[in-house]
Structure 1
Amino acid sequence: MNTLLSIEKRNAVLLKMAVLLEQERQAIIAINKTDLEAYNGDDISMFDRLKVDDSKVDEMIKSVTHLASQEDPVGVERFSFKHDNGMQVYNKTASFGTVLIIYESRPDVTVEAAGIAFKSGNKILLKGGKESLRSNLKIVELWHQALKEDDASTDWVEYLQFNRTETQAFLEKPTQKVDLIVPRGGERLIAFVKQHATCPVIISGRGNNFVYVHKEADLDIALDVILNGKSKISACNAVDKVLIDENLPNKDAFIKNLISKLKASKIAILGDEATCKFDEVTLFESDDIWYEEFLDYKIVVGEIASNADTIAKINKYSGGHSSVIVTGNEAEAKLFMENVDTAAVYHNASTRFTDGGQLGLGGELAISTDKLHQRGPIGLQHLVTNKWYVHGNGQIR
């Protein structure tokens, strides 16, 4: 186990990393180009996440710089108690130890996840996808340089260059102690990790998010929220399902307007019995589609009878990530927000805000759809466990 570095040293490494990312900007982009050229899959969202350009490098630099400015998440007092016998009891945050993150195609995760883990006193094991190998190895080389320049062990950030078989073997019988695993990616990756892991796993990344247009909705807000929710199809906070209150005034005109705007963005529209009567809407074949996360230029638009029916439908089919009600009625919004079982619930705002940076955390390791120990974006202050500190002078029970 690595000895906890002082907060000064951890921050110095993060700031050094920011300098190196700037210095090596062109090299990172050039190396990433070779990854992009070698990618031969047809998954557009994977390709989108793989790409590193100037603005991606800017985000990486901003991420480590911001982390360096945040309070130390380790050793924060959560509870204190003075025992009758004079013992002083504290509960304080503590690092997990070693965190393994398994992710696909996103070289920026190699910066952000490692930064969050390192700042919170954890050793990080990075297992990226083969499609981003060259980009990831270059970034890890910079982490090692930053650590060495500040006299810290390069063990803090380790890249696992494993294939699927080796990954499975490591999950089942780790060759070093692992305290927490975070898989970030598609459902196949998550299922694979859950099946083989022998330590706690935080599930992240499944979306399938819903927008409910209530009968008292502001229709301009509804359009903006739906279109913005579909503006980045590769994101787990994208919208896949739209439910329209069957009692919405001017419902047909609204649906036609929505269809034409979605079409202009090249989005294919699938519908139920009620909405497939509109041109450009294809009737979906099975109700199983309500379970699906698309990560594609695809959306389902259906009608629904009430807020209660909407809540039941979202709770049955959604991925537990994000959901929205668009309404001018505060009581209906409250009912929806209290009863929908997703990590983030919105009233008149876009699901695209379910993101550590946007929700004030500075960044995120993952977006958890689990309920233990943290839900939604997992930021710096959540990548800790806790420990009891008890000070006595000879007390026995």
Structure 2
Amino acid sequence: MNLLSTDIKNKVLDKVIELLDARRSEIIEANQKDLDDFNKEDRAMYDRLVVNDKKVDGMIQAVKEVRNQDDPVGKVISEINKDDGLKIVNKTAPFGTIMIIYESRPDVTVEAAVLAFKANNKILLKGGKEAINSNEVLVDVWHQALKENDITTDYVKLLKLQRAETQEFLKNPTEQIDLIVPRGGERLIQFVKENASCPVLVSGRGNNFIYVDHSANWEQAIKVILNAKTNKISACNALDKILLDKRLPDLDKKLLHLQKALHEFEVELLVDKQVKEILSDEAEIENEDTWYEEFLALKACVALVGDEVEAIEKINKYSGGHSSAIMTTDLSKAETFMEQVDSGAVYHNASTRFTDGGAMGVGAELAISTDKLHHRGPLGLEQLVTNKYYVYGQGHVRV
């Protein structure tokens, strides 16, 4: 793959910005076709599918942010000059070809492509059939921008494959693929992991926890819980499980307060045996599988734990490794929690909704990685490169 100059890449991105605005009505009209064909009962998926003026503005802003970031390719990571004259330089380098498989979310079509392209990668976009009209127009925007700068449209490809065709492509790809990123629910992730013949970087599964310590500021805890649970239920950083310290003062009153606050937002509650003794009208958690589940809905589990040690154990057993939070006024306890919880992002007295490229200062993101190799958390521009060693000699041989 040829390395494009930063200037050329930025010219393409300037054109993408211009075209997204110029073809705004066309993009929204195409999206309306997708919305008209979609089953609105799946509220989370429907919310992700919507493209309006605000969403187009967000796409434009994402491209602008990436355009203005430093080129991540060719940066020197380390340089060693050995005594024998051998020079060893480690530099950042493109992955090559990245495939992203995602459901709904037409804005991912733009964000994934801009990140991959600025990092000099080709990207294969396998969006869901529910967003096909939106994605076709958005990819055409990319192709127009690439053509007008005499760059091959191979840098951005939309794959229109059915499930069986996708499965075959993953097992026997017709072109070199260096990394696959499945961005969606547990079923999609498992499907990709079972069938892919190249490295897979898992993204998107949330199942996030908040633990409320007995020393927590209760009003603050309620505020954070409501934000994490109800601000955007379709996001992978939304809250699913609430663990309360048994030692909370006036525990019964606090549980009733929590119940009322969540019910005002129409949140369905599932509770453990101990909580059910107080919130008798709520359904009890009867299946352990529920603890592993990411809801993406107005639903939450509420349970009691003895202390932060039990909370950490429960989180590490059941969570998706995405985001976990502790509400406490004890700084030492918060530090221990944050060190020992095995999540990509850990919070003290803050909502899990901040696990996002923009909110964390990364900018546009390809996904939120819950893997540990090669990166964890928001996958921004700097994370879409690998490395390469450049070794300079003068006839050096090893003895």
TM-score by length of 1: 0.98
Distance in 2, matches of 1:255 and 1:73, equals 49
Q: CA deviation at 1:279?
A: 5.1
Distance in 2, matches of 1:256 and 1:19, equals 53
- SS of match in other structure, 1:336: helix
- SS of match in other structure, 1:232: coil
Whether the 8 Å CA contact 1:269–1:280 is kept in 2: the answer is no
Aligned to 1:247: 247
Corresponding residue pairs, total: 396
Aligned to 2:347: 346
Distance in 2, matches of 1:156 and 1:280, equals 55
Matches within 5 A, 1:226-241: 226-230=225-229, 231-241=231-241
Deviations 1:337-369 (A, max 9, x none): 000001110000110000111111111111111
Whether the 8 Å CA contact 1:343–1:375 is kept in 2: the answer is yes
Distance in 2, matches of 1:391 and 1:187, equals 46
Distance in 1, matches of 2:350 and 2:217, equals 12
Distance in 1, matches of 2:52 and 2:274, equals 43
Please state if 1:385 is matched with 2:399. Answer: no
Whether the 8 Å CA contact 1:321–1:343 is kept in 2: the answer is yes
Range with greater deviation from structure 2 (99-108 or 76-85)? 76-85
Aligned to 1:22: 21
Letter in 1 for 2:225: I
Identity %, equivalent residues: 55
Distance in 1, matches of 2:40 and 2:201, equals 28
Aligned to 2:111: 112
| RMSD over equivalenced CA pairs, Å | 1.0
- SS of match in other structure, 1:63: helix
Aligned to 2:322: 321
Distance in 2, matches of 1:159 and 1:33, equals 20
Distance in 1, matches of 2:390 and 2:4, equals 19
Aligned to 1:123: 122
- SS of match in other structure, 2:11: helix
Please state if 1:261 is matched with 2:251. Answer: no
Whether the 8 Å CA contact 1:211–1:241 is kept in 2: the answer is yes
Letter in 2 for 1:161: K
Distance in 2, matches of 1:155 and 1:281, equals 54
Letter in 2 for 1:258: L
- SS of match in other structure, 1:242: strand
Q: CA deviation at 1:281?
A: 2.4
Aligned to 1:273: 273
Aligned to 1:306: 307
- SS of match in other structure, 1:275: helix
Q: CA deviation at 1:41?
A: 6.3
Distance in 2, matches of 1:102 and 1:292, equals 21
Q: CA deviation at 1:262?
A: 0.6
Aligned to 1:43: 42
Distance in 1, matches of 2:120 and 2:346, equals 31
Q: CA deviation at 1:255?
A: 1.7
Whether the 8 Å CA contact 1:13–1:147 is kept in 2: the answer is yes
Q: CA deviation at 1:54?
A: 1.0
For structure 2, list consecutive stretches of 5 or more residues without a partner in the other structure.
none
Distance in 1, matches of 2:178 and 2:134, equals 26
- SS of match in other structure, 2:304: strand
Whether the 8 Å CA contact 1:259–1:280 is kept in 2: the answer is no
Aligned to 1:291: 292
Q: CA deviation at 1:14?
A: 1.1
Distance in 1, matches of 2:5 and 2:220, equals 48
Q: CA deviation at 1:287?
A: 2.8
